[in-house]
Structures are given as C-alpha cells and as structure tokens.
Structure 1
Amino acid sequence: MISYRISIGLFCELMAVISIDVSCWFRFSAIHAFEKPNDENALKLMNSCAASMLEHFPDIVFAYGVSDEYSFIWKDTTQFYQRRESKILSVSVSYFTSTYVMKWKDFFPHKDLLETPYFDGRIICYPRKKLVRDYLSWRQVDCHINNQYNTCFWMLVKSGKTEKEAQELLKGTLAKDKNELLFQQFGINYDKLPDMFKKGSCVYRESAKERIELTEVGNPVRKRRQRVVVGHFDIIGHKFWDEHPYVLKED
C-alpha cells in the first residue's frame, strides 16, 4: 500500500485521510472490562463519535472504523485551516477525544470511566481517489482477518485454553479452518455474526433531500439537508460506491 506523507497544503488535489486510534488500547479495554473479541457498546461509542465528526466537520466525506480506530476522508478541495496539516490533525484528534469522553455514559451508563482515554492520529495523503478506495478496501480486509482470528482465539480461551495454547492451535490455520473450528467446537456460524464485527462501520451522509420550510412570515423556502448515517457494508466491491456516487466519486 503506497502512502503519500506530503503536506496537504502544498498540493490541493490530494485527498487527506486522517487515521485516529486509542493509545494503549489493550490496557484501556482491559481496565474497563470490554467484552472479547468485540464489545458492542464500545464499537457503538466509536461510531457515535465518528458520526459527530461528520456533523461537525462538513469537509469530511466518509469515515471507516473498526475496533479502536477510525479513518476520516477529507474532500480534496477542503480549505479548512488553509489546509495546514498540523491544525487539521490536532483539531480532529482533540474533537474526537473530547466527544468520546462526553458520550461515554450514553453507552456505558453503569460503568465509570476509570482512565482518561487519549487518541493519536496521522495524516496520509493520496493523489487519486482510486487509491483512497484501495486504502479503505485494505482496512476492511484487515477487519475481517483480525475479527475471524480474534473470535476463534477468545472462544478457545473462554473454553479453558490458555492464551498460549490458543495461539498454538491457530498457528498456520486458513480462513476455512477457523470457520470449521468455530462451527464444530462452538456451534458458531461465522457468516451469521453481526456485520459490524465482520465488516466494520461506514459513516457517510445520505444524498441531500429537498424539503420545504416556512419562514417566520409564512413564506415557503426550499432547503436541502443531508443526514449522517452509520452502516456496515462491503466497501471492497463496487455496489456501495455505485449506489452512493456522491460520497466518493471515481476519477
């Protein structure tokens, strides 16, 4: 995967991808006793924070998240902070972190925030939108591989195996071997697990819909509004992009 770490202020045609993730995730998830391999509330909290990012920053056109990380795609024409990399990155990370803290009780009403979460981030720039598609496809492939392995690993651990024993049992196994293990030993059909676990989460705006509102004096005004949506789709193939061409147009 080729990345371009060039200042986005120098090349206006570049699309910026900001990747944000939790620092010391294993410690943070352990302290808060997150369910393994996937804590649904923790994932929904991340999704809610990502949705807030799109609502707050209109120049973010798409976001993809899995586990403790999220990638935000900024449109290539953005002039936010005059395209200064350090400002865009610092504001994005600080806003996401603050939102995470503020929304914690919405998703964990009976669990205190025991340690301050902090996120780090980086900007990667791509000269063509096709490469952004490639990047997102790579992240979704990684999501599937990690989730399949982690599902097997934690089911083995919960069944009484040590973590070392679980690692040894899974060493060298193929995808079909892991699916067979889950079904034969635990009665789990991997294909029927929630798409949020297998495919990650996509955040985007629906196509703008026109509606009519009345002004204070009763005159009709036409307005267009886009609603931020969180979904779990295959973004490796063409179907999602063909159905949502306004999100990330091909070159």
Structure 2
Amino acid sequence: MAGSKFAYVRNFELPDPLLPGTFMVLRIDGHAFHRLSEEHNFMKPNDERALQLMDHAARDVMNEFKDIVLAFGESDEYSFLFRRSASLYNRREAKILTTVTSLFTSSYVFNWSKYLSDTPLKYCPSFDGRIVLYPSPSVVRDYFSWRQADTHINNLYNTVFWALVLQGGQTTTEAHATLRGTVSSQKHEILFSRFGINYNELPARFRKGSVLVREEVSDAVETGDAPQADQAISTPTGEPASVSDKKAQKKPRVRTTVELYHFDIIGDEFWDGHSNILADS
C-alpha cells in the first residue's frame, strides 16, 4: 500500500488475532428466517429443499476452506470446525468471520433456484456469524453434541406442533398450550396415538441434522501401461529397467472429498472413526 500523509489512520485499526492452539468453531445463523420461511411458504415442519440448500452452501464453504474438517447443520444454522493448527488469514477473526459468512450467504442466494425453483426469491436473505474458541477435543465434542441434541429437541416439538395444527385442526395458540409442560415421551405419545406417526421412523435428516465431513479417498493414478504382476520391467535392449524407467506403475494419490451424512455424532462411534478431526494438525 502506497504511503501518504493520510496513512496514519491505519493506527486506529486494532489487531484481532484468535488465540493459537485452540479449535475454532464458526457458527452461522439465518437472520429473521422465521419471516423468510413464512413469506416463501416453506413446508412445515421441515422443508427438505431449504435444508438441501443450506447443505449446498455449507459444502461450498468447506470446498473453499480446507482447514474446515467438520460442519454440522440444522434448520437455518451451520457450525464449522477448523482444525486446531489452522492459520487461515493469520487467524484474524474479522477476516475469517466475514469471508466465510459472506461466501455462505452468496452461495445460498446463488443456488436458491436449484432447490426452490417454483418459489422466486422475494428479497435478500442474510446470515450472522460468530467464532468461539474451544481449548480441547472433549469440549469440541460437547459443542457438537449440544447442537445435535438441540436439533432433536426442536424437531420433536415442531413435528408435534404442526401435526396438531395441520392435521388436528388446532390453532397455533392451542397447539402451544397443548404442548406446554410436556416431556419427550408425551410428545412421542401424542404423535403416535393421535396421528399414527412414529417419530423414530421420520427421516434422519430432520431428527439428526446434517453432518459434512472431509473424507480421504485413495486414487490409483496410471502413468503408463502397467505390467502384469509376474512381468519384470525391462528396457528395449532387454536389460533391467532403472528406477527412472519404471514409468508404467500406478502411483497412489490421496485426496479429500466432502461427504454428507445424517447420523449420530453424540456417541463415540463417529469420533472413533474420524480421529483425524480432533488431531493437532
């Protein structure tokens, strides 16, 4: 940046580095999405198209920022976990927060018509974001357990609530009154006894949320015509080939791909199978 007599104004900028050696979780929330869902007639209690759009935007973020190793989404929010050693933008909080949030928002708007093709976008959706630092793998696990438990609690309530309204003929005020003070088992009973709905048989996407994880995929890259297993590689003169001549071999290459799941991340099975997520590097 060129110097001038006006450059002193940079002295008013405050540094905002995030504490090193900690896990970063960036959570994005839809701003006033209750209004957005009402004005665009989202299906109740869940609109799978809108959830798929959220997944698409989250995948775009993960494809852009390789330091993100895990993302979890429910309703109008998504949480992104950065590896502990991440040095993106020198860990400048404002830079990371604004770039990720703006990319997620732009992807959501850009891809709207792919998922809600019969629903023109009436105005610009927006998202807010925050970054929270967590000191240890156990606390990170508890954070994502909290978000998935929240998914279950909210979805069970909303499923019963909208069944009472849409199938039971109650007003929204009456439905809230019916559910006031009820526990999980009572909500399950209302669903099954009144509407024949077994909550545990509903799509896992609604009950467990969306899990995006970076998986390793091994490819075999051919560099020429590979010889048979029992054939030696030789030169045109019949002499054994040197190392530099052994071009007809397959070289393993490891790449990563972002995969979408809808399964439990509260128990140990997921974390035991993805130990790299909470590794130090």
- Shared fold (TM-score, shorter chain, > 0.5): yes
List aligned pairs for 1:220-239, cutoff 5 A: 221-239=251-269
Residue from 224, 233, 244 that aligns with 2:274 = 244
Alignment check: 8 A CA contact 1:213 1:223 kept? no
CA separation of 1:221 and 1:55: change in aligned 2, threshold 3 A: same
- Tell me if 1:108 matches 2:138: no
The offset of 1:181, in angstroms, is 0.3
Q: Deviations over 1:41-81 (max 9, x none)?
A: 00011011111111111000100000000000011111111
- Tell me if 1:11 matches 2:19: yes
Aligned amino acid, residue 223 of structure 1:
R
Q: Which moved more, 1:100-109 or 1:23-32?
A: 100-109
**Partner SS state of residue 207, structure 1:** strand
Work out the number of aligned pairs and report it.
244
The offset of 1:213, in angstroms, is 4.3
Q: Matched residues in 1 for 2:218 and 2:71: separation?
A: 21
Query: Which residue of the partner structure matches residue 3 of structure 1?
Result: none
**Partner SS state of residue 166, structure 1:** helix
Query: Which residue of the partner structure matches residue 144 of structure 1?
Result: 152
Q: Matched residues in 2 for 1:60 and 1:132: separation?
A: 14
List aligned pairs for 1:99-248, cutoff 5 A: 99-158=107-166, 159-214=168-223, 221-248=251-278
Residue from 55, 59, 76 that aligns with 1:51 = 59
Alignment check: 8 A CA contact 2:218 2:252 kept? no
Aligned amino acid, residue 241 of structure 1:
W
Q: Matched residues in 1 for 2:216 and 2:278: separation?
A: 12
Q: Matched residues in 2 for 1:190 and 1:22: separation?
A: 26
**Partner SS state of residue 182, structure 1:** helix
Q: Matched residues in 2 for 1:70 and 1:83: separation?
A: 20
- Tell me if 1:67 matches 2:97: no
Q: Matched residues in 1 for 2:144 and 2:49: separation?
A: 23
**Partner SS state of residue 156, structure 2:** helix
**Partner SS state of residue 205, structure 2:** helix
**Partner SS state of residue 191, structure 2:** helix
Higher CA-based Rg: 2
**Partner SS state of residue 44, structure 2:** coil
Q: Matched residues in 2 for 1:122 and 1:220: separation?
A: 45
Q: Deviations over 1:128-184 (max 9, x none)?
A: 121110000001111101100010111111121111100110011111100010011
List aligned pairs for 1:15-54, cutoff 5 A: 15-54=23-62
The offset of 1:233, in angstroms, is 1.0
List aligned pairs for 1:91-102, cutoff 5 A: 91-102=99-110
CA separation of 1:8 and 1:132: change in aligned 2, threshold 3 A: farther
The offset of 1:212, in angstroms, is 1.1
The offset of 1:221, in angstroms, is 4.8
* CA RMSD after TM alignment: 2.0
Q: Which moved more, 1:201-210 or 1:84-93?
A: 201-210
Q: Matched residues in 1 for 2:70 and 2:54: separation?
A: 15
The offset of 1:15, in angstroms, is 0.7
The offset of 1:219, in angstroms, is 8.1
Query: Which runs of at least 4 in structure 1 moved beyond 6 Å after TM superposition?
Result: none
Q: Matched residues in 1 for 2:222 and 2:255: separation?
A: 12
Q: Matched residues in 2 for 1:180 and 1:199: separation?
A: 20
Q: Where do 5+ consecutive residues of structure 1 fail to align?
A: 1-6
Q: Matched residues in 2 for 1:10 and 1:92: separation?
A: 15
Select the structure with the greater relative contact order (CA < 8 A; seq sep ≥ 6).
1
The offset of 1:19, in angstroms, is 0.4
